[in-house]
Structure 1
Amino acid sequence: MDNSLVSSLRKSYELNELLEENVSQNPIEQFRTWFKDAIDGDVKEPNAMVLSTIKDGKPSARVVLLKGFDTEGFTFFTNYESHKGQQLGGSPYAALTFFWDGLERQVRIEGEVSKVSEGDSDAYFWSRPISSQIGAWVSKQSEEVSGRDVLEKSQAFFEEKFKNVSPIPRPPHWGGYVLKPSTIEFWQGRPSRLHDRLLYSLEENTWKITRLNP
């Protein structure tokens, strides 16, 4: 592919604006408003977010799914022994990035991460489809596997093992994390690349709003 084609790709963002007088003083409530807009706007996978962690002083990123949010933070679930789980064990700070292209919006969240309670992990695990519960037992996430057939044989093994078990126990290596935000930035695309950026920073238990240059 000719790089000139790539460099010529551009779009003017003109759908909306983000002004201080129109936002909530609480970023969680502002996120709630935008998240509902994303759902109502038929954004595909509105809860998909890039989770960025630190590995040996270098960034590492992947897409995961948000499974809840409130004043305590933003929750997601994964294998604790995966690459991201190991990285969070070594450095419990992370960043989340949402991009809702249909709304020309982005949200960036940074903060400290901790594990959710065993009870919360159990409750979410048992709310998942049975196939997903089995999958959590099958996958040794991020470890090398010799072929697809290994996964399929393991799946058959656990399907038979838990055939008459209810509820299926949650694997000890699987559960939730919650990121408690220290900063949340809301980005609204605007014409001429003069985008609106409002940064909420937590200072002495109070959220301060600052406008950033685009």
Structure 2
Amino acid sequence: MKLHDERRDYERAQLHRSILETNPFKQFESWFAAAKEAAVLPDPTAFTLATVNAARQPHQRVVLLKNFDTAGFIFYTNYDSQKGQDIAVNPLVSMHFAWLPLEQQVRIEGTIEKIDRAASEAYFQTRPRNSQLGALASQQSKVIGSRSELEAVYHDLTERYEGQDVPMPENWGGYRIKPDYFEFWQGGKYRLHDRFGYHKNTAGTWFIERLQP
């Protein structure tokens, strides 16, 4: 399949150093707010999480951002999943938001850690009941023979906990990504995209560099 003619120009906006926030968390907050307001994005919270296992094999998957502040970016998952196994041996991860209808991308790199169980419990209780049961039913990333097997477990748990609170799985909870690098990308005309990287120096101060496209 030849795709060399599949292209478009990027003319929506330009990103200038003069309008960037000095703090990358503030810059992300600004772009994220705009992404949420844009009707063209079905789920601006979705990002690609990249991890690397002990054999240095990279893995990627899409997860959903559930909270962020200056302490980091939080998502929830099964700790025994492939991503959890990768994180256990290598806490260096990368996030990537692709807001392509806005001609914007954000890349964030840093270290990852589990949040405390009480915070995970508090979030778990806000989830729809079917999502709670789904988390309990799934042994994420493990091999299973058929979908019907998984649905049988789900329905069994539905009956077991009828009229009761669904317990949070012991191996389920949140992670916090603590960034040390941000990159903001705005598509540009003639493929002259605007890219700015935020690095943190040894004193903990962020500095900004323009990158060539």
Q: TM-score range by the shorter chain?
A: over 0.9
Residue in structure 1 matched with residue 176 of structure 2 by the alignment: 178
Is contact 1:41–1:102 with CA below 8 Å preserved after alignment?
no
The aligned runs of 1:48-197 (5 Å cut-off) are 48-55=46-53, 56-166=55-165, 168-197=166-195
Aligned counterparts of 1:46 and 1:194: Cα–Cα separation in 2: 25
Aligned counterparts of 1:164 and 1:142: Cα–Cα separation in 2: 29
One-letter amino acid of the counterpart of residue 135, structure 2: A
Pairing partner for 1:29 from 26, 40, 58: 26
Corresponding position: 1:15 with 2:19: no
- How far has the Cα of 1:50 moved from its partner? 0.3
One-letter amino acid of the counterpart of residue 161, structure 1: R
SS in structure 1 of the partner of residue 101 of structure 2: helix
Corresponding position: 1:41 with 2:38: yes
SS in structure 1 of the partner of residue 87 of structure 2: helix
Aligned counterparts of 1:93 and 1:7: Cα–Cα separation in 2: 34
- How far has the Cα of 1:13 moved from its partner? 0.5
One-letter amino acid of the counterpart of residue 48, structure 2: V
One-letter amino acid of the counterpart of residue 7, structure 2: R
Aligned residues: 210
Unaligned runs of 5+ in 2: none
- How far has the Cα of 1:79 moved from its partner? 0.4
Mean alpha-carbon deviation: is it higher for 185-194 or for 55-64? 55-64
Unaligned runs of 5+ in 1: none
Deviations 1:40-60 (Å, cap 9, x if unpaired)? Answer: 112111011000000211211
Deviations 1:42-84 (Å, cap 9, x if unpaired)? Answer: 2111011000000211211011111111001111100000000
Deviations 1:81-132 (Å, cap 9, x if unpaired)? Answer: 0000000001011000001011100000000000011111011111110000
Is contact 1:15–1:104 with CA below 8 Å preserved after alignment?
yes
Aligned counterparts of 1:66 and 1:120: Cα–Cα separation in 2: 15
Is contact 1:94–1:112 with CA below 8 Å preserved after alignment?
yes
One-letter amino acid of the counterpart of residue 16, structure 1: A
